[in-house]
Structure 1
Amino acid sequence: MVAMSKIATGNGHGENSPYFDGWKAYETNPFHPTERPNGVIQMGLAENQLCFDFFQKWLMKHPEASLCSPEGVRKFKETALFQDYHGMPEFRKAVAKFMGKVRGDRVKFDPDRIVMSGGATGAHEMVTFCLADPGEAFLVPTPYYPGFDRDLRWRTRVELVPVDCESSNNFKITRTALEAAYEKAQAANLRVKGLLITNPSNPLGTILDRETLKSIVSFINEKNIHLIGDEIYSATVFMEPEFVSISEIIEEDIECNRDLIHIVYSLSKDMGLPGFRVGIVYSYNDAVVSCARKMSSFGLVSSQTQHLIASMLSDDDFVESFIVESKERLFKRHKYFTWSLSQVGIGSLQSNAGLFIWMDLRKLLKEKTFKAEMDLWQVIIKEVKLNVSPGSSFHCQEPGWFRVCFANMDDNTVEVALMRIRTFMLKNNEAMVPRSKLCRRSSLKLSLSRRKDDFITSPGIMSPHSPLPTSPLVRART
């Protein structure tokens, strides 16, 4: 066998995680309403598919934004030729303006600090390369996105030190937890170079309040370590309290070395355009901007994509209406989904952002262990045919939590998924709510009309009196 590099032969990519195993189960047998009605429903993908009609209508009205149309062909040669890896000025200006708009125009962003990358994945690796050397470490509050083990560690050889957060205080990041993680890293002879926070949180769907953010800024300033704020879900906040960016905190009367502050952003979640691979590093540090810009040549956003995005985000009316409508549709789907789960005894962490729910299945574990969590997850994947992600893959310290995504499917698939969950749960007497309550409310179905509480009746959700097969849950608990 030909010798290969340690990166090529190692398992640093992290694909041995249940998070990725769930994707593989879906890919081998994906659900289709007619061709594979018994296939696995993808609920492990944090994708926003609720507003594609908005994009389609805009593109029909603005064919010149596409270089592959008669109206846009005049810009084809100009855009197809070499573009400086600083990025098109109109693209950087439009993205900077959009970032400000998403944050309620309470803060402005400098287009000259916008650095392109191939999605948030590339942006995270880029900023890690800029800030740390192999063997140095970043603190990361748990639970955190499983892809960070790949994005921040695989090729950079940087270490991640968990900041353990607990369900007893809704996984809030505390100064005590930060200090404990910092001391743990020092005891392991790891030099801590930074702290990575995700706000809004993936997988929690919660936001960091202003006081917590101030405490975090104070912590990194005292330790003289960097702060990376992953804010890729900032436009998905669909209920109060409103999103507060780290960029707002440093504008306030607070002691802070701005050279330590960096933001990762993308259009993959807020606009639901992951295929466009638009990632952004925004740093307040001139040296980081300069270095990242050089590194960006390894993962540029295509000029065709830059042209389209610049055209779209420069349309103020479109941006305003999209932000409002996206929040409303996420609100409706989240409200309906969490209510439906509650009707069969499934709780979740109270949240107001993101494309997912942090689902609480602790009472379904036969014992409070991660092995029991994996046993339950295997049943959900193989028997219930839902790809949800176990909390252990997010480094959650408490077994029994699962992330379930709700915005990556149409209404009919939502109904099928909820029917499967109901079938799964109704055989578990410990988790059932009173039958009379289920009977009264079982015919509700999501409506994406403009009224927030406008639900319509549907026969799509299984009645509690419907015949049920023997539940695999019974087997999982014995």
Structure 2
Amino acid sequence: MGLAENQLCFDLIEEWIRNNPKASICTKEGVNCFKYIANFQDYHGLPEFRKAVANFMSKVRGGRVRFDPDRILMSGGATGANELIMFCLADPGDAFLVPSPYYPAFVRDLCWRTRAQLIPVECHSSNNFKITTEALDEAYNKAKEDNINVKGLIITNPSNPLGTTMDRETLKSIVGFINEKNIHLVCDEIYAATVFRAPSFVSVSEVMHEIEHCNSDLIHIIYSLSKDLGLPGFRVGIVYSYNDGVVNNGRKMSSFGLVSSQTQHFLAALLSDENFVERFLAESSRRLAARHSHFTKGLEKVNITCLPSNAGLFCWMNLRSLLKEKTFEGEMMQWRLIINEVKLNVSPGSSFDCSEPGWYRVCFANMDDETVDVALKRIRAFVGKETGKPVELKRCKSNLRLSFSSRRFDENVMSPHMMSPHSPMPHSPLVRAT
């Protein structure tokens, strides 16, 4: 439950593939395109691919905004896209503000090779971790006092790990802040199509047009098909920038992490099928809502609450009441117990730089229904033991088949030092604890 993968709608894509064999150059129906696709392609990407992605991004945002295919830059997943935009915007030593809690691998994606740095902006549970201009100003001014050049602000909307979406007024205040300070805004919107209940997703691409004298050169969007379509193995990352300089330079740099033309060819066909896209988005939202409801209601039976959320592939679970010590050391003691005795791979809030101990990210979309029930059974047993109120549990079926590979289990749970691309960073408490 530590890996944010979306495995709930693979059957829809598999069905489409069976019905559209021409989409692949590896079938007798599609092999006529093999020579064209296998030969060298322009670094801009296949025109049909960029057009299909631009239309998909618009559809995910309810058709309220349109995207220009000529502003789409390709990269190897959101990881490559994040690094690409950082190389374009920052010099070594420059800093980006990032509201906490935030995705731990931002340290790798944004800083390892660019030598930029991140400055956390503290957010708190008292207002459901909502970003405030007061917190942004405090972090910005502190950086200036320390002679750090603040080049921009990076936000995730919908949020990883919170599973929440930003309201229009918060986004407007953020765009106003970066315009006032004349710094860049990088909006990670890779979970845009995982919204499963109200309020609906509002993109920065909508809000920027509502603000008078907004400097669009400062605004950039990171997108991917890893979460919304559940295709992380395809390594499709997108930088969409309103800045001509970023587009021109980013396109030159994207040659180091292009999406394969075979993948572009397939996705161009898939995403151009408007009937499929509409059906997929609706069904994905429905299934995520059902899984989220099932999981959170299962937790509520033993009085475990989660931050109210409406998006993402995870819950932000509150175990503060069970901490033996109300400290981050106490959080890590509790995490070791969950890992070693409960046998659940959940991620402690401190690995997301959360300012309060006792929060955990729990991923619920990367497994089948039966495995979710096993997880809930283990959590309820753990809580019963901790509170002295044993929970009566039904015996699980003997034919349980776990939906993750033994290799991933070893890498992400038992041996976190064997780093996979999605493993926590070496500096994080998730690794230090072992």
For the pair 1:185 / 2:143, whether they are aligned, the reply is: yes
Partner of 2:21: 63
Among residues 177, 195, 210, which one is paired with 1:219 in the alignment? Answer: 177
1:255 is aligned to: 213
Conservation of the 8 A alpha-carbon contact between 1:218 and 1:255: no
Q: Which of residues 62, 75, 95 is equivalent to 1:104?
A: 62
How far did 1:255 drift?
A: 2.9
Contact 2:65 2:205 in 1 (8 A): yes
1:361 aligns with 319
Shift of 1:424: 1.0
The aligned counterpart of 1:293 is 251
Match among 11, 14, 32 for residue 53 of structure 1: 11
Match of 2:406 in 1: none
Q: CA deviation at 1:189?
A: 1.0
Give how far 1:428 is off.
Answer: 2.8
Partner in structure 2 of residue 307 of structure 1: 265
Matched to 2:109, the amino acid is D
Q: What SS does structure 2 have at the residue aligned with 1:157?
A: coil
Query: What TM-score do you get using the length of structure 2 for normalisation?
Result: 0.90
Q: How many residues align?
A: 398
Deviation at 1:253, TM superposition (A): 4.0
**Which residue identity is paired with 2:38?**
A
Structure 1 residue 113 displacement after superposition: 0.3
**1:143 partner SS:** coil
User: What is the distance in 1 between the residues matched to 2:291 and 2:23?
Assistant: 31
1:139 and 2:97 are equivalent in the alignment:
yes
Supply the AA of the counterpart residue of 1:198.
T
- How far is 1:88 from its partner? 0.3
1:308-352 CA distance string (max 9 Å, x none)? 000000000000000000000000000010000111121110000
Q: Give the counterpart letter for 2:177 in structure 1.
A: F
Does the CA contact (< 8 Å) of 2:94 and 2:149 recur in 1? yes
Matches within 5 A, 1:22-421: 43-421=1-379
Change (3 A) 1:253 1:152: closer
Indicate conservation of the 8 Å contact 2:217/2:242, yes or no: yes
CA contact (8 A) 1:391 1:401 kept: yes
Q: Aligned in 2, Cα 1:420/1:459: closer, same or farther, shift over 3 Å? A: closer
The root-mean-square deviation of aligned C-alpha atoms, in Å, is 1.5
SS in 2 for 1:392: helix
Alpha-carbon offset, residue 459 of structure 1: 6.8
Q: Which amino acid aligns with 2:318?
A: D
Query: Which residue identity is paired with 1:172?
Result: K
Q: Deviations over 1:418-442 (max 9, x none)?
A: 1111111112337x6xx9xx88xx8
Instruction: Find the aligned partners of 2:269 and 2:41 in 1 and give their Cα distance.
Output: 17
**Are 2:374 and 2:396, in contact at CA under 8 Å, matched by a contact in 1?**
no
User: Counterpart of 1:71 in structure 2: which amino acid?
Assistant: E
Query: Secondary structure in 1 aligned to 2:42?
Result: coil
Larger radius of gyration: 1
- SS of 1:387's equivalent? coil
Unpaired runs of 5+ residues, structure 2, are 399-434
Q: Which stretch shows the higher mean deviation, 84-93 or 182-191?
A: 182-191
Contact 1:194 1:226 in 2 (8 A): yes
Deviations 1:99-150 (A, max 9, x none): 0000000000000000000000000000000000000100000000000010
Superposed displacement of residue 415, structure 1: 1.3
Shift of 1:389: 0.3
TM-score, normalised with respect to structure 1: 0.82
Alpha-carbon deviations, 1:44-81, whole Å to 9, x = none?
A: 00000000000100000001111111111100110000
Query: Structure 1: where are the runs of 5+ without partners?
Result: 1-42, 444-457, 462-478
TM-superposition CA deviations, 1:136-179 (whole Å, max 9, x none): 10000000000001000100000100000011110000000000
SS in 2 for 1:334: helix
Three-state SS of the structure 2 residue aligned to 1:105 is: coil
CA contact (8 A) 1:347 1:359 kept: yes
Secondary structure, aligned partner of 1:205: coil
| Cα distance between partner residues in 2 of 1:404 and 1:92 | 34
The answer (yes or no) to whether the contact 2:172–2:211 under 8 Å persists in 1 is no
* Aligned residues of 1:113 and 1:289 also touching (Cα < 8 A): yes
Q: Distance in 1 between matches of 2:68 and 2:322?
A: 50
- Distance in 1, Cα, partners of 2:53 & 2:245: 21
Equivalent-residue separation in structure 2 for 1:50 and 1:253 (angstroms) = 38
